[in-house]
């Protein structure tokens, strides 16, 4: 998986609070503190709900939804059915097919 850096601008009160956390020894760097905050934020959300929502919007294939949900393709199909979502049959675009191929290669 290609790791791409993300840049975040933090100013004002948030920046001051981050600096205090570092000075107090809770984190070594701002990057470490931000990564921890993002981990906590993501733990708050149900990845299955996110995947179903993105699938319904046509932004994910069933295979990609299964991958980010951490479930099998078969289980993802069951989840969609349980939520009243009719899975599309076939591939809508060549880009989606390439994305599915990449996703399925990672899953093995």
CA-closest candidate to residue 107, choices 64, 60, 77, 51: 64
Same domain, 39 and 58: no
Q: What is the pLDDT of residues 62-83, one digit of tens each?
A: 888 999 999 998 999 999 999 9
Select the more confidently predicted residue: 20 or 102. Answer: 20
In a domain, 66, yes or no: yes
- Write out pLDDT tens, residues 12-57: 999 999 999 999 999 999 999 999 999 999 999 999 999 999 999 9
Closest to 51 (Cα-Cα) out of 91, 89, 80: 80
| Cα separation, 66 vs 99, whole angstroms | 13
Residue 24 lies in a domain: yes
pTM of structure: 0.66
Residue 3: is its pLDDT beyond 90?
no
Residues belonging to the chain: 108
pLDDT score at 103: 62
Considering the domain architecture, whether residues 75 and 32 belong to the same structural domain is answered as no
Q: Decide if 62 contacts 75 (C-beta within 8 A).
A: no
Pair 92, 40 in one domain: no
Query: Which pair of tokens denotes residue 84?
Result: 């009243």
Question: Are residues 66 and 24 part of one domain?
Answer: no
Q: How far apart are CA 19 and CA 85, in angstroms?
A: 46
């Amino acid at each position: 998986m290609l790791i791409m850096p993300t840049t975040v601008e933090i100013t004002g009160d948030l920046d001051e609070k981050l600096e205090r956390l570092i000075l107090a020894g809770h984190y070594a760097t701002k990057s470490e503190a931000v990564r921890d905050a993002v981990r906590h934020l993501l733990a708050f959300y149900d990845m299955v709900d996110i995947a179903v929502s993105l699938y319904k919007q046509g932004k994910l294939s069933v295979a990609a939804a299964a991958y980010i949900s951490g479930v099998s393709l078969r289980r993802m199909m069951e989840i969609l059915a349980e939520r009243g979502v009719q899975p599309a049959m076939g591939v809508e675009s060549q880009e989606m097919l390439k994305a599915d191929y990449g996703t399925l290669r990672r899953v093995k």
